Amino acid sequence: MGRVGSAALSLLALAVVSPWQAVAAAAGNGTAVGGGSPRVPALLVFGDSFVDTGNNNAVLTLARSDFRPYGKDLNGGVPTGRFSNGRIPTDLLASRLGLKDLVPAYLGADLTDDDLLTGVSFASAGTGYDPLTSTLVAVLPMQEELNMFAEYKEKLAGIVGEEAAAGIVSKSLFLVCAGTDDIANNYYLAPVRPLQYDISAYVNFLVQQACDFMKQLYQQGARRIAILGLPPIGCVPSQRTLAGGLARDCDPARNRAARLFNSRLQAAVARLQGELRCQRIGYVDIYDVLRDMIADPCKYGFDVSTRGCCGTGDLEVSLLCNQLTAATCPDDRKYVFWDSFHPTERAYEIIVDYLFPRYVEKLL
């Protein structure tokens, strides 16, 4: 085939792919992790420690994990600020989408243009929908995460131009994961909110804050938003220790609060779909799969689901989970939880594998 024919075919190829795919290919990221094309141009993540890939490393707070033994099974054992022994849902979802194996933190020191093109995490461990939650532990409030996203869009436009940047944003998947700290570390630990709200009223407040957050994302160009519900908070190891009595049973009050939040958020998301005329805003239920893993760990190949792998597993999290005072279990793959609050990489893998076809696929 002559040069003219080759050029014509090249132009035809560019004509049948979307602008973001052409941009990704030019940036050297047009091939998915497992082969083929990425399902979306980027993954953009907001929320708390379950999806924070290291932003709190740059924040003056005690809510951090940039020290051993965190990350012992990732990156050669060098801590990254992820609250687990390895990869977290942010990374695992990006892999499933064909984007990359690790999603960098937006506040990371060595972000590249390609990092920005294919997605970052704006999440801050310890934050919540309630602005008071982030204040209590000196982390980034959700509003600041939105501010960083606005800044991100300016950087993106500087790389590919405003039109292509808007296309990338509109076709990207947005993941929002927050609310657990509002219930566990604010309402049931701090003395302020229980004086102002009963739990039903507080849940209504959180759901309204979550809806406002999604609306602001929509106003900033988001069109595919997956918002996670809450896990069975009362069955998390630290909450068993704090509220489960001598037997460390699951705390029914915290679990009821989580279920109440989930049911009301799901209904609110359905209303929001109609209000914004956007069907690709979806509620993602993580309560049932994690509750089943905790109740029947052997079914999933685990031995321990009531304690974390770090230290005693009863209370160690963040600074209490350190290599000086907290030894780790011999095999973290046998544990549902890494520390007293966050699952292991293996547990996260099972959760993401369960959720992806049931919820995420519908938003793509």
H or E segment and range at residue 333: none
Among all chains, which residue has been given the structure tokens 């993540």? Answer: 45
Catalytic residue flag (residue 65): no
Label the pairing between strands 335-337 and 43-47. Answer: unpaired
Q: Which of 341, 348, 294, 335 is nearest to 320 (CA)?
A: 341
> Rounded CA gap, 236 and 340, in Å?
7
| Rounded (to 5) percent helix, strand, coil in the chain | 50, 10, 40
> Rounded CA gap, 301 and 333, in Å?
8
CB-based contact 146:124 (threshold 8 Å): no
- Set 134, 332, 339, 340: catalytic member: 339
Q: Which of 343, 235, 320 is nearest to 244 (CA)?
A: 235
Catalytic residue flag (residue 339): yes
Catalytic residue flag (residue 115): no
CB-based contact 54:80 (threshold 8 Å): yes
> Rounded CA gap, 31 and 24, in Å?
9
> Rounded CA gap, 180 and 256, in Å?
13
> Rounded CA gap, 197 and 328, in Å?
39
- Set 48, 49, 181, 305: catalytic member: 49
Helix (H, G, I), strand (E, B) or coil at 364: coil
CB-based contact 160:82 (threshold 8 Å): no
Catalytically active residues, by annotation: 49, 339, 342
